[in-house]
Amino acid sequence: MTVRHFLNLSDAGGDALAAMLNDAMARKDARRGLPKGQPDADAPLAGRVLAMVFEKNSTRTRVSFDMAMRQLGGSAVILDAGTTQLGRGETIADTARVLSRMADAIMIRTSDHAKIEELAAYASVPVINGLTDLSHPCQIMADLETVLEHGKALPGLEVAWLGDGNNVLNSIIEAAGLLKFNVRVAVPEGYDSDPHFISAARSAGASISVHRDPRTAVQGADVIVTDTWVSMGQTGADARIAAMAPYQVNEALMAHAASGALFLHCLPAHRGEEVTDGVIDGPQSVVWDEAENRIHAQKAVLRWVFGQL
């Protein structure tokens, strides 16, 4: 069997993503009330080890993959690039060869997306994208699970994105094409997202509209999403913050969304910049469910790369 990598959502395709989301929700329901580290009754990844490589900071991705492996009956080894030989110049290819002999799958958080593609090319075990400068597919699996759990159907859903055209937005747009929802993108000129994701989603039938006026993007939308204005590794913070200030998600902007609209943020949040306390702590915010769902959604991603879904 060919090795299944999860570098972008399109590696799985719409049908598999839908199956993963169903599995994530079913497993979450089935283990309600158990201590967080107790394995699921069937422990489907018993004996499997995930090696996690972090070339950038992380709280959620790190803990949620570790917990996901524990709940599936397996375990994880965490490598911080600064304390590995990768950080001293050992090649990605050699790292891929070695980790493939020692672990059953590799998750990596890195900068240049070309690095994860190279890792996957030389690995003989599955490679999972834990965020690159280009995309963050695991985050979007948790986001979609959260939207579904809160009673919204994906086909025809109107999602509005505010702020920066970044990695998280690229994966939302990719998901829109695969799962048939629509995205209204409100970002300042000069901070647009990757055009390839937009054209692929449009070709698949999703409506992806680009707005400079945040209010037109939010008008009647079912889900409002934002993220930091300065992603890890980005420079020019002052200019970015000035350009994106009109795109802040605040109570006045949320008032233009559909009644019952949800607010999502992958976190970490910069309160007072891209979102106000009133919105992130308000009744429409589902960000803590979204954070928890990183565990449940990634359990399904792990089962998929191991051929169980």
Run of H or E residues at 184: strand 182-186
Task: Between 61 and 182, name the residue whose CB sits nearer to ligand CP.
Answer: 61
Residue 301 corresponds to which amino acid?
V
Q: Are 194 and 230 in contact (CB under 8 A)?
A: no
Run of H or E residues at 160: strand 158-162
Q: Are 199 and 35 in contact (CB under 8 A)?
A: no
- The binder of 182, among ligand NVA, ligand CP, none, by C-beta within 5 to 8 A per type, is none
| Beta strand extents in 33-122 (DSSP E only) | 49-54, 75-80, 105-109
| Candidates 66, 227, 298, 303; catalytic one | 227
Residue of the chain from 141, 168, 253, 301 that contacts ligand NVA (CB under 6 A): 168
Give CA angle at 82 (78, 88), nearest 5°: 120
Residue of the chain from 100, 129, 146, 167 that contacts ligand NVA (CB under 6 A): 167
Exposed/middle/buried for 190, CB within 10 Å: 0-12, 13-18, 19+? exposed
Task: Between 104 and 290, name the residue whose CB sits nearer to ligand NVA.
Answer: 290
Q: Segment contacting ligand CP (CB under 6 A): 43-51, 53-61, 66-74, 241-249?
A: 53-61
Q: Which two tokens stand for residue 213?
A: 């006026």
Q: Segment contacting ligand CP (CB under 6 A): 45-53, 54-62, 116-124, 196-204?
A: 54-62
Task: Between 146 and 166, name the residue whose CB sits nearer to ligand NVA.
Answer: 166
Active site residue 256: no
Q: Which two tokens stand for residue 3?
A: 């090795």
The residues of the shown chain that bind ligand NVA, judged by CB under 6 A, are 131, 166-168, 227-228, 231-232, 266
The residues of the shown chain that bind ligand CP, judged by CB under 6 A, are 58-61, 131, 139, 266-267
Q: Which residues are catalytically annotated?
A: 109, 136, 139, 227, 266, 294
